[in-house]
Amino acid sequence: MPKILVIEDEKHISRLIEITLQREGHEIEKAFDGVEGLEKVESFKPDLIILDRMMPRMDGMEVMRNLQ
């Protein structure tokens, strides 16, 4: 089962993405800011990351730089 990490600070958007992807059979983990997202990358080991660009504490561009 593909593992997807959703990093999105808007909880209603995050939930909508989660429901949609779970219906398709994906395992979903969520984070609500960039710092939490980077922590979950280490423990969850996602196959794909869906990432918001504008978030508190660490924006999406900074998350991408840290992942590289």
Mean pLDDT, the chain, whole residue set? 95
Model confidence band, residue 1 (pLDDT cutoffs 50, 70, 90):
confident
Which residue, among 60, 68, 3, 10, has the nearest Cα to 35 in the 3D structure? 60
**φ and ψ at 28, to 5 degrees?**
-115, 140
pLDDT beyond 90 at 56: no
